[in-house]
A and B are shown apart, each in its own frame.
Chain A
Amino acid sequence: MHELGIVFHIIKEVKKAMQENNCSKVSKVVMNIGEVSTVVPYYLEDCWNWAVSKEEGFQGCKLEIKMLDAVTWCDDCKSEYPTVAHGKTCPHCGSGNTWLLRGNEVEILEIEAI
């Protein structure tokens, strides 16, 4: 249950933001989730709904997930390509000298709170 651990970390982070902004109830949390972040959105939502029902000030809080595409950079032919379709090998030149540019985000973008 990888997603459950992540949910606990989100709640911890959101609580801190609520404290700093003198809020007592949160109604929405918006997340950026990268395509290759290893987080399964469906499980994340499931764990979220279970965890927020037990947390004061979080009851009914919605989780909005924005999926971000994964992009890899090839350092040999200096080009970008979609990670999921081609993995570690550059489809333009066949090089393995590549690294992930973006797509592994697990990020809290913003929250709506009172």
Chain B
Amino acid sequence: MQIIHYLSARKLKIMEKVKVIEIKKSIFEENGREADELRAELKKKGVFLLNLMSSPGSGKTTTLIATINAIKDKIKVAVMEADIDSDVDAIKIKEATGIESIQLHTGGMCHLDAEMTRQGLDNLSEGLDLAILENVGNLVCPAEFDTGAVRNAMILSVPEGHDKPLKYPLMFSICDVVLINKTDVLPYFDFDMDKCREYIAMRNPAAKVFPICARTGEGVDSFANWLLEEVALWKN
């Protein structure tokens, strides 16, 4: 009897100690705050951060190489390559452009958050005008986590289809720029460029659309010029 008494008393004591703590907070809130802080610091330093996103295989690395080669004599650029594993992309960029390029491993995670982006930026040299973050190839998760970038860009390649903005609405609604890559294969696919522009505008009327072909270089200059203008605006 005594033991039973002791146990229930102890249980009661524990019950009394359990606190219900109301949080009522979006899990993106903290990351959003860190991202805003990072953007403010970048503004002070005059560094423009571009977050580049896409599906795997849309031509992110090839597009980056073509773009960097078009602007590297005018501004100081560095690249952070985020992947789940390997450093093939970072090596490829360095070899093809000669600019500073580092690899970030996400350790299995499908996206980068503001804190991880900050750690990457800390590893780049000082005095940069433009830092480009090549996010993990994925159209879902990177759209939900603000990296602290000044502008978000995404690549949609022709073989993926013109209806992609309907399937991944969030990604298209947060992107300032959509590059439609691999225009050289347009004759071989039922890709409707007008429909694609219409669907992008449905998600984000302010989004700029640049049809490009990273392989041949077609249209890359328009994107490169937009980027140079944005960097100049940010530094003012």
Contact = CB atoms under 8 A, between A and B. Distances in A.
Interface of A: 1-2, 4-6, 8-10, 12-14, 17-18, 21, 23, 27, 38, 88, 96, 105-114
B189 interface: no
A23 B19 contact: yes
Contacts of A88: 169, 202
Given A2-B141, A96-B202, A10 B27 contact: yes
Contacts, number: 78
B22 A110 contact: yes
Contact of A21 (B19, B25, B30): B19
Nearest to A8: B109
Given A4-B108, A111-B23, A113-B21, A106 B28 contact: yes
A113 B14 CA distance: 11
Main secondary structure of the interface of B (DSSP, over half): mixed
Contacts of B24: 107-110
B114 to A, nearest CB: 11
Given A4-B109, A5-B141, A109 B22 contact: yes
B17 interface: yes
Contacts of A10: 27
Most interface-central of B21, B109, B113, B141 (chain A CB within 10 A): B21
Contacts of B62: none
Nearest to A87: B166
Contacts of A106: 26-28
A88 B199 CA distance: 11
B106 to A, nearest CB: 9
Interface in B95-121: 108-111, 113
Contacts of B18: 27, 112-114
Nearest to B17: A114
Contacts of B25: 13, 107-108
